[in-house]
């Protein structure tokens, strides 16, 4: 997918998307209407890009100092205070705190979040209150929806270009356990100088 967006517009849209994501809000037509000269699907693309980038940045930051965050929490600092002090993303922080504190896998973290009463520490039960559970659940829904949307757009783009590929379902039916969203049936050459592409993990200002 290629598109032409000025650096100024990109940074403004990216900033708005970042704020929406931190507030667990999706991108709507009302927000997109602020940029009538930019196609809605382009703004959606920037939102997806921002979501994945923010999540990666937050998880890297949180993992780096997770021991400190757990210590602060157990010293009677609230989750809200920790989030505010370091400008953290609450869903990512809660997930990683549970994972590291109780040495559990992602599946068990999911079970704890869906049923906080099963968490073996009362303070963590209280921190995973109704609001926090909703925030994490909403975050997961947005992430899943964006992934499905991106996969759909990728397949449609390949079909429009008449590029042959196998879907993830087809690859799994062949017995492969780890599969990408699509697998090309033959190699292709992309002329980057003619069709400028914006990588999903980069901003135009990145090296």
Per-residue CA distances from 168 to 120, 141, 143, 163, 172 (Å): 38, 20, 18, 16, 6
47: nearest Cα among 145, 122, 181, 158: 145
pLDDT of residue 65: 94
Euclidean distance between CA atoms 206 and 85, whole angstroms: 27
For residues 34-45, give the mean pLDDT.
84
pLDDT digits (tens, 9 = 90+) for 80-122: 899 889 888 888 888 899 999 999 998 898 888 778 788 888 7
The string of DSSP codes covering 3-23 is: ----HHHHHHHHHHHHHHHHT
How many whole angstroms separate alpha carbon 179 and alpha carbon 175?
10
pLDDT-above-70 percentage for the chain: 78
Per the structure block, which two tokens stand in for 10?
A: 């990109």
Q: Note the pLDDT of residue 87.
A: 86
């Amino acid at each position: 997918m290629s598109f032409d967006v000025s650096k100024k517009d990109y940074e403004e849209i990216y900033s708005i998307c970042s704020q929406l994501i931190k507030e667990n809000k999706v991108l709507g037509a009302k927000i997109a209407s602020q940029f009538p000269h930019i196609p809605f699907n382009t703004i959606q693309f920037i939102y997806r890009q921002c979501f994945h980038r923010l999540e990666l940045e937050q998880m890297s930051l949180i993992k780096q100092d997770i021991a400190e965050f757990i210590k602060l929490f157990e010293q009677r600092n609230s989750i809200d205070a920790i989030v505010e002090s370091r400008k953290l993303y609450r869903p990512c922080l809660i997930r990683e705190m549970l994972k590291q504190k109780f040495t559990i896998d992602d599946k068990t973290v999911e079970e704890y979040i869906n049923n906080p009463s099963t968490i073996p520490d009362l303070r963590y039960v209280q921190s995973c209150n109704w609001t926090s559970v909703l925030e994490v659940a909403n975050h997961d829904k947005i992430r899943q929806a964006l992934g499905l949307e991106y996969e759909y757009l990728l397949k449609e783009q390949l079909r429009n270009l008449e590029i042959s590929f196998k879907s993830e379902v087809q690859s799994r039916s062949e017995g492969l356990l780890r599969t990408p969203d699509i697998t090309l049936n033959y190699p292709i050459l992309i002329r980057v100088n003619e069709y400028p592409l914006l990588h999903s993990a980069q901003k135009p200002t990145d090296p």
